[in-house]
Structure 1
Amino acid sequence: MPTRGTAPAGAPCWIDLQTSDVDRAATFYDALFGWTHETSGPEYGGYVMFSTSGAPVAGMMPAQPGNPYVNVWTTYLATPDVDATARSVAAAGGNVLMEPMTVPDAGRMAMFLDASGGVIGAWQPGEHPGFVTVGEAGAPAWFELVTKDYDAALPFYRDAFGWTLVPLSDTDEFRYSTGRFDGDDLAGIYDASRTLPAEVPSHWQMFVQVEDTDAAVARVRELGGEVPTEPWDTEYGRMAQIADPLGARFMISGPVATG
């Protein structure tokens, strides 16, 4: 499986889930993706580390009392200095939701609200580099901001995280830009102002690679999850939107169906 060291500055480097039922969620993701999990001690708040082929791939934590941000996946962008990133976020029109903090031995983190209303994390690696396996079955494959304010999102990620933005499409029907890092497109920003319901805010979504999208969808249902959006083919693969048994949504992507 292809691996990397630390992610380029500004690129997605980690994902984790806040869930209302750690045991049920762990069972679901282990069975769906072949992940294994290990729970940390109380000094780390019971944080769960998922691994694939022995390498860290995602995290999970129990929901915090009084926090409405639950049963949702968070994407983290890499930074060499999370304190400087927090200042850049504020200067670019975002808000600091959680001030930079140290996770002993692992690194430093913070949480932000971007200028378009999407929640995004930042991770400054210490001993924990983030996920190191990408684009293979059971590993993260893509990340995108689904935004109601595309014109605010683009300069925010350019200025706060140093993105090089590359327009993929700029028509009335479809506006999409990618973030390019060292020549590779590693994330996207999608103008969803015409499609997101009023009650759904701008948000990040992550894609996990699977070997067979339709088989994965069938497995999701067997495991008690739901499929809000049935599989469809694109030039980038066959995709579907999934919800785990607690309601946390994410995307899966596999090869285009044949036959």
Structure 2
Amino acid sequence: MTKLDSTQPNGTPAWIDLGIPDLDRAMEFYGAVFGWEFDVGPEEMGRYTMCLVEGREVAAIMPTHDESATEFWWNVYFATDDVATTVSKAEAAGGQVVVPPMDVMDKGRMALVKDPVGAQFGLWHGQNHVGTRLVNEPNALLRNDLVTPDPGAARAFYASVFDFGLDSDGYLGDDDFTFLRRPDGHEIGGIVGDPAATSSAWGTLFMVDDADATAQRASAAGGTAAAPYDMVYGRMAEIRDPFGTPFSVGAPKFGG
């Protein structure tokens, strides 16, 4: 297992969370799909609920009290040694601050930023909460990719903010796909250029043992799932939970 007990290097996806209208319904769904167990937080913490695989935090779910909200998505947080400095770099590169740097009790420090193509992401400097403590394993986070109709602007922004290297291996043929790599060469995700996309957003891909079986469980639990398909990196399925939150699952052939 890929177990993590310390903070990740700058630019690494370090945490994911989801705000939805009905916490109990969400736990029922994600428990059925991934077999997650849950540690429900107290009311004073907004019932911020840790999702666990073998006792290790892999994500969090929380109830949102915004009655006007109609769209929901998994938030990705990138690790940083200094939230304020990274926010300044993001602003200088054309990003917009959504939530300024703030302390989350003794857990860590965070901020929310929107990039120049409109995709939102978080920053996380872990202290007592380092972030995801299990990755690249079944029912845990595998990778995050940005889908956008304006990949050029996105590539320039993330390279400037996180010093990412940019490259493409050509495996996806004519598709516009760019790998994002930390300065040490480690791949942290990618940017997908999609001219048909009407907005830009970071997607979340969970690793599973069997994409077809996971899609079936999601449908049976009240979500929706498109037909699983094969690609060069493995077998995938696109799923939405009962609130319409999109995410993907990938079979073990994938590498993160």
TM > 0.5 fold call: yes
2:227 aligned counterpart, secondary structure: strand
Paired amino acid for 1:189: I
Task: Compute the TM-score of the two structures, normalised by the length of structure 2.
Answer: 0.92
CA separation of 1:139 and 1:155: change in aligned 2, threshold 3 A? same
Amino acid at match of 2:100: E
SS of match in other structure, 2:2: coil
Match of 2:149 in 1: 148
CA displacement 1:92-139 (0-9 Å, x = unmatched): 101001111111111011111111111111111111111121111111
Distance 1:66 1:92, change over 3 A: farther
Aligned partner letter, 1:38: D
> What is residue 192 of structure 2 aligned with on the other side?
190
1:139 and 1:255 mapped to 2: Cα distance? 12
Task: Please list the CA deviations of residues 133-191 of structure 1 after superposition, one character each: whole Å capped at 9, or x if unmatched.
Answer: 11111111111000121110001101112222223349993111111133321211110
Letter in 1 for 2:201: H
For structure 1, list consecutive stretches of 5 or more residues without a partner in the other structure: none
Inter-partner Cα distance in structure 1 for 2:40 and 2:10:
28
- 1:74-223 correspondence runs (5 A): 74-169=75-170, 173-181=174-182, 182-192=184-194, 194-196=195-197, 198=198, 201-223=199-221
Report whether the alignment pairs 1:22 with 2:20: no
Tell me which moved more, 9-18 or 179-188.
179-188
Name the CA distance, whole Å, in 1 between partners of 2:60 and 2:37: 11
Deviates more, 1:28-37 or 1:180-189: 180-189
CA RMSD of aligned residues (A): 1.8
Specify whether residues 219 and 68 from structure 1 end up closer, same or farther in structure 2 by C-alpha distance, changes over 3 A only. Answer: same
Are residues 115 and 68 of structure 1, via their aligned partners in 2, closer, same or farther at CA, if it must alter by over 3 Å? same
- Secondary structure of the 1:178 match is strand
Which residue of 2 is the match for residue 224 of structure 1?
222
Q: Answer whether contact 1:3 1:134 (CA < 8 A) is retained.
A: yes
1:58 CA drift (Å) = 0.1
Structure 2 distance, partners of 1:19, 1:161, is 30
Looking at structure 2, the residues matched to 45 and 85 of structure 1 have their Cα atoms a distance apart, in angstroms, of 27
What is the alpha-carbon distance in structure 2 between the residues aligned to residue 138 and residue 76 of structure 1? Answer: 18
* TM-score, normalised with respect to structure 1: 0.91
Amino acid corresponding to residue 10 of structure 1 in structure 2: G
Number of positions where the alignment pairs a residue of Structure 1 with one of Structure 2: 251
Match of 1:230, SS state, is coil
